[in-house]
Structure formats: structure tokens, C-alpha cells
């Protein structure tokens, strides 16, 4: 009955109970999910029924290509939907976590999202060799790593804009890595834009706790900014998905004696053999075991 009035849009911000939806003409509306349609995420394409001049109801969430999220034993936290590329920001200082970096890459792989690691603050030159050394095992896996310094905005733009053009990019990182600084270089009016929407929709002051999609100025594509985090649980992944998050295991798994091998202690395990021969690093195998142990703790509740 309402279908004639429905409009297509994309969720560009999530505020808990309501969402900001951008329509094809560039206008924005404050929208509420209809009934029990919970779980919409930034990046979702939706159909809405307009209500008044500035509001609407979300009638339908279109099928997603992917959804990136993290989860612990208490709750899940959605990052964004329909993401083409994960821009994972790490830095020379403060020290980035190998564990969180590894987990973000596992999450991206399981959601079929291409990762691009951004090593920021390379102006802090004395820390660069150690950072490169710590990233060597990821580089060996074919993960692309771009080194830059946000102190040089022109270089940031020339390095990153060609990489992100025409795609939906999700910017993720631990706190303090320089995510906001990079966002402000790539989307110069990001803050002004957000405030403008907040005023128009009466949604109040922008809080750093919300996730927000920005259009790239002067070109197609978008950048989704999300709050920094200090943990990256993967309780939602199955044992099989965890295994798939480690591409260097794939060839070795074919040699496992048992079809349900967990690659921890089984005799005739191809992964353990590859670990012994140095084809898989002890750090990556340890990360795999930590993620799997969490997954098993959840299953035994
Ligand atoms: N030396 C140097 N400092 C930088 C660089 N990029 C960012 N910073 C500084 O690092 C600090 C953290 O940067 P932010 O952009 O606020 O970091 P963030 O990742 O957004 O952090 P959260 O807001 O906690 O998520 C700030 O003091 C920046 O000025 C860089 O390339 N080199
Ligand atoms: Zn095995």
C-alpha cells in the first residue's frame, strides 16, 4: 500500500535507536526502523517511507553483500555493511597490537572484504624499522601495506585517494593511531557536514561514539568512520570461518589426517607440520588458537 511512496536511500549514520538515511537527491532524513526490524547498519541500502519533511520509517533493508562486526561474550558490535575495502590504520606510536590487527584481518577475510593496512606516523622515523619487522609476516601473506604520515596531507591524498575512489571504504583502528586526522585530510568538511545534518535533523551534537559514512568530495566512493576500539572479539565466527581467516593454513590443511582436525595437537596435522618447518609463524598460530578457544568457550555455555 505504501510502496508508491517509498524512497531508496543509504544509511550514513547510526545513533542507537534511529538512523540518518541519505536519499538519491542528497537530502537526509532521520529514520526509525519499522516494527522489529532491528540491526540495520551504516552502509545498508534501505527503502523508506517518508514522514513529514525530515523523517521516515525504514521499511526494508536490501540484501547485504557483507557485514563487518566484532563480538564478545556479552554483545555484538556492527561496524558497517556493503564494504568494499577495510582501511586498517596502525601507527608507529602508540604501539599497535598484533593481536587486534590480526583479528581485524580475519574478520575482513571472513566477510570477503579486501584489507589495506595503513602504517601512519612514519615521520617518527626511528620506530619505522621495528614496525616493518612486526608487519613482515602479514606482508608475506600478500596484505598490502601503505606507509604514510598525516603530517604530510598532500602525500596522504596522493597515496590514498586512488586506492579508495569508487569504493565503500571502512576506516578502522585502535584509538590514537591517527584515524580522525586522516579522515579530516580525505574529507575536509567532515565535521561541518556532520554538524549540519545534526542541526537539520535535531539529532543533537555529534558524538564520537557513532559510525558515519562520508562521500568522497569530487569523486565517487565513500569513507566510513567508526569509533576507535581496544578489543576485537570474534565470537561470532565458526571454527571453519576462523580457519579460513588464516590463508597461510589453506595448503597445509589438505595434509591433515583428520577431517575435523583443529590444528592444535592432532597427530598427522599439516598445519603443525608447516609450523615446524617455519612456513607458518608461531605468532599467527597462537592467534588462531586464541580465537578458536574463545569460540569454544561460547559453544559450551
Ligand atoms: N607525528 C605524527 N602524529 C600524528 C600523525 N597522525 C596523527 N598524529 C597525532 O596522533 C594523535 C592521535 O590522532 P587522532 O587522529 O586523534 O587519532 P584517532 O585514531 O582518531 O584516535 P581516537 O579518536 O582515539 O580513535 C594526535 O595527537 C595527532 O595529532 C602522524 O602522521 N604523525
Ligand atoms: Zn590439522
pLDDT of amino acid 227 = 84
pLDDT of amino acid 38 = 64
The residues, any chain, with a CB within 8 Å of residue 78's CB and separated by 6 or more, are 14, 39, 41, 42, 67, 68, 69
pLDDT of amino acid 42 = 96
Contact 211, 205 (CB under 8 A): no
DSSP reduced 3-state for 90: strand
Instruction: Write out residues with Cβ below 6 Å of ligand 1.
Output: 120-121, 123-124, 149-151, 173, 175-181, 228
Contact 235, 77 (CB under 8 A): no
| C-alpha–C-alpha distance, residues 153 and 187, integer Å | 11
Give the gyration radius of the chain's Cα atoms: 21
pTM metric for this prediction: 0.90
What distances in angstroms separate CA 113 from CA 90, 98, 167, one per listed residue? 18, 19, 11
| C-alpha–C-alpha distance, residues 140 and 5, integer Å | 52
What angle, rounded to 10 degrees, do the helices at 282-299 and 98-110 form? Answer: 70
pLDDT of amino acid 115 = 96
pLDDT of amino acid 208 = 46
Looking at the CA of 289, which ligand is closest? Answer: 2
Q: Which domains does the chain have, with CATH numbers?
A: 3-61 (2.40.50.140), 67-225 (3.40.50.300), 239-299 (1.10.40.50)
Nearest CA to ligand 1 atom 8: 178
| C-alpha–C-alpha distance, residues 281 and 248, integer Å | 9
pLDDT of amino acid 206 = 45
pLDDT of amino acid 194 = 58
For residue 73, count CB atoms less than 10 angstroms from its CB and return exposed for 0-12, middle for 13-18, buried for 19 or more: exposed
Contact 166, 144 (CB under 8 A): no
* Preceding peptide of 94 cis, ω within 30°: yes
Looking at the CA of 176, which ligand is closest? Answer: 1
| C-alpha–C-alpha distance, residues 214 and 220, integer Å | 11
For residue 7, count CB atoms less than 10 angstroms from its CB and return exposed for 0-12, middle for 13-18, buried for 19 or more: middle
pLDDT of amino acid 196 = 61
Distance of CA 180 from the midpoint of ligand 1 (Å) = 7
Nearest CA to ligand 1 atom 14: 178
> What cell numbers appear for 232 in the block?
576485537
Looking at the CA of 246, which ligand is closest? Answer: 2
Taking only the tens place, the pLDDT of each residue in 210-259 is: 789 999 988 899 999 988 778 899 998 999 999 989 999 999 999 999 99
Residue 5 is classified by DSSP as G
Distance of CA 268 from the midpoint of ligand 2 (Å) = 7
Contact 151, 123 (CB under 8 A): yes
Query: Binding site for Zn(2+), residues?
Result: 256, 261, 263, 269
Nearest CA to ligand 1 atom 3: 121
- The residue ranges of the chain whose pLDDT is under 70 are 1-4, 36-38, 191-209, 299-301
* Beta bridge partners of residue 170, listed in sequence order: 86, 224
> What cell numbers appear for 193 in the block?
557536514
Neighbours of 87 (CB within 10 A): 23
Nearest CA to ligand 1 atom 15: 178
pLDDT of amino acid 130 = 97
Query: Binding site for GTP, residues?
Result: 120-123, 173-181
Phi, psi of 234 (to 5 degrees): -130, 40
Amino acid at each position: 500500500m505504501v510502496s508508491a511512496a517509498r524512497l531508496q536511500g543509504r544509511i550514513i549514520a547510526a545513533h542507537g535507536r534511529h538512523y540518518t538515511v541519505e536519499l538519491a537527491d542528497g537530502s537526509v532524513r532521520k529514520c526509525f526502523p519499522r516494527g522489529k526490524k532491528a540491526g540495520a547498519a551504516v552502509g545498508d541500502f534501505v527503502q523508506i517511507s517518508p514522514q513529514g519533511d525530515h523523517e521516515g520509517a525504514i521499511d526494508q533493508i536490501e540484501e547485504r553483500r557483507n557485514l563487518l562486526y566484532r563480538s564478545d561474550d556479552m554483545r555484538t558490535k556492527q561496524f558497517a555493511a556493503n564494504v568494499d575495502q577495510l582501511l586498517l590504520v596502525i601507527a608507529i606510536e602508540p604501539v599497535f597490537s598484533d593481536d587486534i590487527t590480526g583479528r581485524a584481518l580475519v574478520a575482513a577475510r571472513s566477510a570477503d572484504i579486501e584489507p589495506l593496512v595503513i602504517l601512519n606516523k612514519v615521520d617518527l622515523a626511528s620506530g619505522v624499522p621495528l614496525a616493518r619487522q612486526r608487519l613482515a609476516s602479514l606482508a608475506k601473506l600478500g596484505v598490502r601495506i601503505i606507509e604514510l604520515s598525516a603530517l604530510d596531507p598532500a602525500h596522504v591524498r596522493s597515496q590514498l585517494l586512488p586506492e579508495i575512489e569508487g569504493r565503500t571504504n571502512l576506516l578502522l583502528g585502535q584509538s590514537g593511531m591517527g584515524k580522525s586526522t586522516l579522515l579530516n585530510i580525505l574529507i575536509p568538511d567532515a565535521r561541518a557536514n556532520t554538524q549540519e545534518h545534526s542541526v537539520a535533523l535535531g539529532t543533537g551534537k555529534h558524538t564520537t561514539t557513532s559510525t558515519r559514512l562520508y562521500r568522497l568530495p569530487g569523486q565517487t566512493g565513500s569513507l566510513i568512520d567508526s569509533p576507535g576500539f581496544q578489543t576485537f572479539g570474534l565470537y561470532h565466527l565458526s571454527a571453519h570461518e576462523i580457519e579460513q581467516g588464516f590463508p597461510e593454513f589453506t595448503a597445509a590443511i589438505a595434509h591433515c589426517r583428520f577431517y575435523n582436525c583443529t590444528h592444535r595437537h592432532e597427530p598427522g596435522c599439516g598445519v603443525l607440520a608447516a609450523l615446524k618447518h617455519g612456513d607458518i609463524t608461531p605468532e599467527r598460530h597462537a592467534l588462531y588458537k586464541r580465537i578458536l578457544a574463545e569460540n569454544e568457550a561460547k559453544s559450551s555455555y
